[in-house]
Amino acid sequence: MATWNSRGLRGSTLEEFINRTNEIYQENGLALIQKIPTPITPINIDKQTRHITLAYFDQKSTVDYIGAVQGIPVCFDAKECNTDTFPLANIHEHQVAFMENFEKQGGVSFFLLSFTKRDEFYYLRLDMLLEFWKRAKEGGRKSFRYEELDPEYFLPRQRGVLVPYLDALQKDLLRRD
């Protein structure tokens, strides 16, 4: 069973960046995206600071974020990678199943990846992830490389927006029509 401190706070910087981006999008009337908290049960609590020092996850989480962009339901998960190879083991089958079902209901699902070594963000479309997922299921590589990604979906730096994913979402929507 995974415990809260076994994974440290990986991804917390990326999530802070995404949370701030979502605040900016909401302030400008562009999107309403909420962070979905992962339900935990505390095991140890530091009595002086009242901080949880050990906990376990109550249930499998689905995605990190869910909401709407200009009336379009969206859900996404945030992942960090400190090399040019992203292990598919970092994405769980129940997450993929949720995202596929979300899309069947008319929503858009994607991943926001942070390649920390390169200081770059990437919008990974669900259909592209499913290609990598299928390859792994068929006995192929259980990861994908930075070079395999579609260059159009790297997120360019923008002033005032830390993880500017709305333009990539727009490209994703246009290719679906």
Question: Model confidence over 79-96: pLDDT tens digits?
Answer: 999 999 999 999 989 899
Mapped onto helix, strand or coil, the DSSP state of residue 117 is coil
Annotated binding site for Mg(2+): 62, 64, 77, 95
Per-residue pLDDT at 10 exceeds 50: no
CA separation for the pair 12, 89 (Å, rounded)? 19
Q: Cα separation of 47 and 32, whole Å? A: 37
Expressed as residue numbers, the domain containing 70 is 4-176
pLDDT score for 172: 97
* Cβ–Cβ < 8 Å for 97, 103: no
Structure tokens at 107: 């929503």
Is there a contact between 110 and 172 (Cβ–Cβ < 8 Å)?
Answer: yes
Q: How many domains does the chain have?
A: 1
Structure confidence at residue 87 (pLDDT): 95
Report the CATH number at residue 14: 3.40.1350.10
Which residues belong to the annotated binding site?
62, 64, 77, 95
Q: Where are the alpha helices (DSSP H) in the chain?
A: 12-27, 93-104, 126-137, 166-176
> Is pTM beyond 0.85 here?
no
- Give me the numbers of helices (H) and strands (E) for the chain, helices first please: 4, 9
Residue 45, beta-bridge partner list: 52
